[in-house]
Structure 1
């Protein structure tokens, strides 16, 4: 029974170690574990609480004065004053609306920050897919180079090959080994970058194929959808609304403030006077130019939203055109490469002596370069599409 349990445990461990993690799973993990995202979330919470501080009532004031007479018989006199000041009620209503709008703005800024982190993580994953593909290609190239090196070593010993041909094969083997080594170093670096984004937790990501992406058919329809969901534009729209509300708040500051309280006077001999305290504060000087400043800030928010909208639309157009060009090139490479099996034919031809060493290296170099170009096009296309559809992250 113990042996059975051990065998099952080993099988499950091996299965878990070899399990692949999809890009969506990686993004969900990073959304949970990323330290920068967690820190920004706490900062957003703190700033949202800060927006409510301006709408608190001032602290109540309590004071007591104890006075002594300078002549005999004058006795002792005391005064107790308790008061509470507050603004005109309209000011509290306007500040409450401003606080809610600022909270929405902060939430949207956090959503924009989250999107940037997830886009960065997705880009790293897409680079890892490319590196995993290149690893498969470099492993194939290394395997072929080793087979040819062994073959020409045997031919050299029997006199069927010369030293120049053998040296060329050995150089090809050296280049293949170096390419595999550099590719693995780059892959490990990307995995480390992914672990850093995941809060220091390593992620096993070995995908060699990209997930299907939705093609952009109509730019105008896509532009409307993308800009309506863009968190940067949404936060600027909230900032625009907040700037308008700030004007109303600053206008409300021009209304008088009030103070209500209780006053008690005592004196030697049991005499006592008590009553209510009422005061009015007229902001003749403290609110000067506040409304002008708020209007200027509102104009700045309008212009900033307008400028950023133009920038976002221009970037979307550039990415759209880039994706179209990449898709065309990628499809052309795919049609040609999928209709050919050059590598197997080249290996057979060189081993049977149908082509010369020079012809082989010219053709095999073209084949590997074409494969590399195709994989690079796929990677660039996926990155462009990730940027286009980042609002869905």
Structure 2
């Protein structure tokens, strides 16, 4: 039969997770390396870059040939023409500039995809840490209830144990068991989410079992994160796309100038060869009507989107940072009170000495246990906010 001192050691034990030797960030790196979606995106972005290389190219040369015959004089005739058409030269410089900017925007989009994937991986692992800590708290609670049931049924306490006390302990045990079942289900769902992220449920189990604790990170002042705001892929990409749109507008404006065609012409008639050149001029009277103005308006829209993106990112950063500060303050307040708190030991001593009833003990100890779970939830919310702030972190 366990003693009250043994129970006190159980309820006062610190939540400690299994140490695997693999850091939180290394687990994130593993998840990123295994993510099939990122591999697919990498191929898609590579295809986009390859397609951009073909932009601003001259049209393919044209070869035309003909053979004409006659029953009389002067006889049959052969014609061959090789020609090359082109836009006004200034169009290609604008198109090449647009292609370079679009390629850079594609690279930034790929970076943003990876950063978002890392954020999701960090949140999934943080959820695993949170669930494991909660499960450990409930394990300690269950051991305490089981020990009290053992003591109560054998009459080892100084105060009188009623049948109602025993029934209350049994009900409390059922509630703890239900909470454990709920947490185990959530842990299974977390493993499934990790498995969907990396494309393997077996590797997901290994990663989940390797989780130790949250990463040790410092929450910096808002100004430090704001300094990196313009360097985020989303903001920089929107700015680059606005520049690309301006280059496209310039290309459309230059397309209002004539396009050119030049080539070589060969003919043979009655055995006599003829050599010469051909030249042509295409005046865009109808084909470009309205396109230049449409491109100019699209350029203005892209600039407005870039400004809006910067505003939205700043507001999002301020909101996330404010939430992180709030959760950090709340967690520190809970941690200061609950760490090495004498409440569990004092309650058990009072119960052992007959100063409080079993009912009072269960109510007060459950309240203390709920406070611990609340502290762990706040810590988890803080880690979620830190995962979102990671893209602005000076250390990244």
Q: TM-score, normalised by structure 1?
A: 0.87
Check conservation: 1:257, 1:280, Cα contact below 8 A.
Answer: yes
Q: Counterpart of 1:125? A: 125
Q: 1:341, CA displacement in angstroms?
A: 2.6
1:267-294 residue CA offsets vs partner (Å, 9 max, x unmatched): 3x42332222222222222222222112
1:331-374 residue CA offsets vs partner (Å, 9 max, x unmatched): 21111112513223333443454420111111111111110111
Q: 1:188, CA displacement in angstroms?
A: 2.1
Report whether the alignment pairs 1:199 with 2:199. yes
Question: CA–CA distance in 1 between the matches of 2:259 and 2:358?
Answer: 95
SS of 1:389's equivalent in the other structure is: helix
Check conservation: 1:236, 1:305, Cα contact below 8 A.
Answer: yes
Q: Counterpart of 1:272? A: 273
Report whether the alignment pairs 1:151 with 2:154. no
From 233, 246, 249, the counterpart of 2:248:
246
SS of 2:155's equivalent in the other structure is: helix
Say which structure, 1 or 2, has more relative contact order (CA 8 Å, 6+ apart). 2
Which structure 1 segments of 5+ residues have no match? 1-16
Q: Residues 27 and 339 (structure 1 numbering): CA distance in 2 closer, same or farther, change over 3 Å?
A: closer
Report whether the alignment pairs 1:212 with 2:216. yes
SS of 2:154's equivalent in the other structure is: helix
Once the two structures are superposed, the pairs formed by residues 13-52 of structure 1 within 5 Å of their partners are 19-52=20-53
1:284-342 residue CA offsets vs partner (Å, 9 max, x unmatched): 22222222112101110111111222222222222222222222221211111125132
Q: 1:130, CA displacement in angstroms?
A: 0.7
Q: 1:240, CA displacement in angstroms?
A: 1.0
Question: CA–CA distance in 1 between the matches of 2:66 and 2:180?
Answer: 87
The count of aligned residue pairs is 371
Q: Counterpart of 1:141? A: 141
Check conservation: 1:115, 1:391, Cα contact below 8 A.
Answer: no
Q: TM-score, normalised by structure 2?
A: 0.87
Check conservation: 2:225, 2:392, Cα contact below 8 A.
Answer: no
Q: Counterpart of 2:161? A: 161
Q: Counterpart of 2:116? A: 116
1:180-206 residue CA offsets vs partner (Å, 9 max, x unmatched): 222122112112211221232324335
Once the two structures are superposed, the pairs formed by residues 224-263 of structure 1 within 5 Å of their partners are 224-225=227-228, 227-263=229-265
Q: Counterpart of 2:89? A: 89
Q: Residues 204 and 348 (structure 1 numbering): CA distance in 2 closer, same or farther, change over 3 Å?
A: farther
Q: Counterpart of 1:10? A: none
RMSD: 2.3
Which structure 2 segments of 5+ residues have no match? 1-17
Q: Counterpart of 1:311? A: 312
SS of 1:283's equivalent in the other structure is: coil
Question: CA–CA distance in 1 between the matches of 2:81 and 2:369?
Answer: 91
Q: Counterpart of 1:57? A: 58
Question: CA–CA distance in 2 between the matches of 1:204 and 1:345?
Answer: 39
Q: Counterpart of 2:10? A: none
SS of 1:155's equivalent in the other structure is: coil
